[in-house]
Structure 1
Amino acid sequence: MNFFAHIDLKPLPMPITHQHKLLLIGSCFTEHIGNNLSDLKFNILQNPNGILFETESVARSLVSYIQNKQYTAADLFQYNELWQSWNHHSRFSNPSQEAALAGINQSQTRAHSFLKDADWLIITLGSSFVYKLNDEARFVANCHKAPAQWFTKHLLPIDEQIALLDNTIHQLFHFNPKLKIIFTISPVRHLRDGVVENNRSKARLLETVHHLVNKFDRLFYFPAYELVIDVLRDYRFYDIDLAHPNYAATQFVMDKFSECAFTDATKSLIKDIKQVVTAKNHKAFHPDSKQHEQFLRQHYEKTLKLLQEHPHLDLQNELKYFKPG
């Protein structure tokens, strides 16, 4: 008897390896994927603008990286004693205008350089709802807890989302001819919009993405949304808010991503990396004991061997931690 629906996971025709550079952008589920890949020592850059939920903000941000847009004081506003940007997550907000601008522009410069040479771009879209600032008639990526009456909420039509992303993809491929793109839809349920409204929002994202994947030969779709909503299909795989997938669900998704995105050689390397990373995170009860000294020496040798075989890996922190007295 089958307790889970089958889903056809198509392997990537060009698998991802540790030699590749991956830029990730989009919703909070992007960071679940990105943090996991970072822990496995992939070369990643995630969310240079912070978390972005909808198509308009994602497209606008990607174009800004291509152009290496540098922000000025005129691009910021002050609210709740913080200087903030309507294009950025609140992690960039700062009581100092100069510090806020410095953080934003450093991130822009790094994103421009990274994207120019990236092998993969992973875009995770979360919602079709957009917010427009009434006074300036402009879309915002983050409302920064400003009063609701400042904004107009709008469900972006499919054709507008297709046009936004189509134009952005053409610019991306011109900027970086080797770039390949993976689209995912976030399984996070935006229940504050309402259950029906959330389903309409996700449906528009799905139609948009599949239209584009069918059009471009370097675009691929990974069904993170379907894996949680249709395969796991149970609230025990969600957090207490019933909106965010829990650890078990996100690990299930990453296991499936590994199945279709990595070669057997990469999967084998990941096992070795996990052993080294887990050992580094191990908390010793008796750090001065001979047993712990032997533990460190063994893993230092193992890490050194791994680096010799795979010099592209960044294991310097592990090597420093294990290095004998």
Structure 2
Amino acid sequence: MNFRLTFPVAPIEPSLQYTDKLLLTGSCFAEEIGARLQQNKFNVNINPNGILFNPLSIAQSMQSYLDGKEYTANDLFLHEDLWHSWDHHSRFSGDAVQKVLKHINDSQAAAAKRLKEADWLIITLGSAHAYALKENNRIVANCHKVPEQAFYKRLLTANEIIAALDNMMHRLFFQNRKVNILFTVSPVRYVRDGVVENNLSKAILLQAVHHLVNKFNRLFYFPAYELVIDDLRDYRFYKEDLVHPNELAVNYVWDNFASNCISPEGQKILQQVMEITRARHHRPFNPQTPQHQQFLQAYAKKTKALAAAYPFLEMGEELGYFEGKV
């Protein structure tokens, strides 16, 4: 007797290689997958504007990288003694204008460079609900705890989302002729919008994404949303807020991602990297024992061998730990 519905995840082709340059953008779930890619030594740039939820803000951020936009003081506003950008997450906010601008513009420059070189752009769409300023109808990426009376909240249409992403991709493909794009829809349940409203929002995102994936050869879809909502399908796979998938759920999605989106050669390297990073974070009861010193020496040897076999891997921190230098 089956008590859960599983489904096959279609492998993507081409698949991700360890030598690829990746740019991830979108909701907080993009950071979960991005963090695992980063921990396992993939070359990633994660959320250069910070967490972005709605597709129009994601498309706008990509346009700003393609334009080489440099932010000025006129792009910031002051609220509760902090300077903010309507285009960026609050992680960029601060009490000094020049410090905020440096943080934003350094990230913009790195993102612009990465987008021109990227082999993969991974976009995670969070919500079709968007907030627009009443004063000028501008869609904002983050409300920065400004009173809700300052905004209109509206549900984007599939056509709006398709048009924004389509225009962005045409420009991107002109500048970067090798980049592939992988779409996911976040399994985070935005119940603050309402349960019915959240489901409608996700349906619009899915409609828009599949329209685009069916239109372009270089676009792909990974079913992170379906793996949590339809496969795991249980509140025990969510955190206490019942909104965000917990670590067990994220690891399940990651395992499916690694199996179906990373090349066979990459998966072999991944297993070796994971063994070394697990050893790096091992906490011995008695670090001075001969047994632990032998453990360190053995993994220093393994790390050197892996770095020699794959020079593109950044294993300096792990090797330093095993050799007692950090």
Figure out how many residues of one structure are paired with residues of the other and give that number: 325
For 2:7, the equivalent position in structure 1 comes to 7
Structure-2 separation of matches of 1:231 and 1:298 = 40
Give the structure 2 partner of residue 221 of structure 1.
221
| Contact in 2 for aligned 1:10/1:260 (Cα 8 Å) | yes
Residue identity in the other structure for 1:108: Q
CA distance in 1 between counterparts of 2:2 and 2:259 reads 20
Q: How does 1:258-273 map to 2 (within 5 A)?
A: 258-273=258-273
Secondary structure, counterpart of 1:94 in structure 2: coil
Cα distance between partner residues in 2 of 1:264 and 1:215: 27
Q: 8 Å contact 1:297–1:324 — kept in the other structure?
A: no
RMSD across aligned positions (CA):
1.1
Q: 2:226 aligned with 1:233, yes or no? A: no
Q: Does 1:28 align with 2:28?
A: yes
> Residue 120 of structure 1 contacts residue 180 of structure 1 at CA under 8 Å; is this kept in 2?
yes
Aligned partner of 1:121 in structure 2 is 121
Amino acid at match of 2:57: S
CA distance in 2, matches of 1:241, 1:274: 30
Which amino acid counterpart does residue 118 of structure 1 have in structure 2? A
The 3-state SS of whatever aligns with 2:131 is: strand
Task: Please report how far the alpha carbon of residue 183 of structure 1 lies from its aligned counterpart in structure 2 after TM superposition.
Answer: 0.3
**2:154 match: secondary structure:** strand
Distance 2:21 2:274 in 1: 20
Offset, 1:275: 1.1
- Amino acid paired to 1:175: Q
Letter in 2 for 1:88: H
Q: 1:67-107 CA distances to partner (integer Å, 9 max, x unpaired)?
A: 11100000000111111101000000011111000000000
1:291: how far off? 2.4
Give secondary structure in 2 for the equivalent of 1:35: helix
Alignment of 1:156 with 2:156, yes or no, is: yes
1:85 aligns with 2:48: no
Distance in 1 separating the partners of 2:7 and 2:165: 26
In the other structure, the counterpart of 1:47 is 47
Would you say 1:185 and 2:171 are equivalent positions? no
Q: What is the distance in 1 between the residues matched to 2:199 and 2:277?
A: 39
1:73: which partner in 2? 73
**Alignment deviations for residues 198-229 of structure 1 (CA, whole Å, 9 cap, x no partner):** 01100000000000000000000001001111
SS in 2 for 1:188: coil
- What CA distance in whole angstroms lies between the structure 1 residues aligned with 2:125 and 2:31? 12
User: Aligned residues: percent identity?
Assistant: 51
- The letter of the residue matching 1:311 is P
170-179 vs 259-268, which deviates more? Answer: 259-268
Aligned to 1:312: 312
Give distance in 2, aligned partners of 1:227 and 1:185: 11
Aligned equivalents of 1:136 and 1:77: distance in 2? Answer: 15
Letter of the aligned partner of 1:107 in structure 2? S
Give 1:18's aligned residue. Answer: 18
Q: Deviations over 1:9-57 (max 9, x none)?
A: 1111111111011100000000011001111111100100000000110
Counterpart code for 1:120: W
Offset of residue 3 of structure 1: 2.6
Aligned residue type for 2:128: S
Normalization by structure 1: what TM-score? 0.98
CA–CA distance in structure 1, aligned partners of residues 186 and 200 of structure 2:
14
Could you report, residue by residue, the CA deviation over 1:235-265 in whole angstroms, capped at 9, with x for unpaired residues? 1111111111111111111111112112332
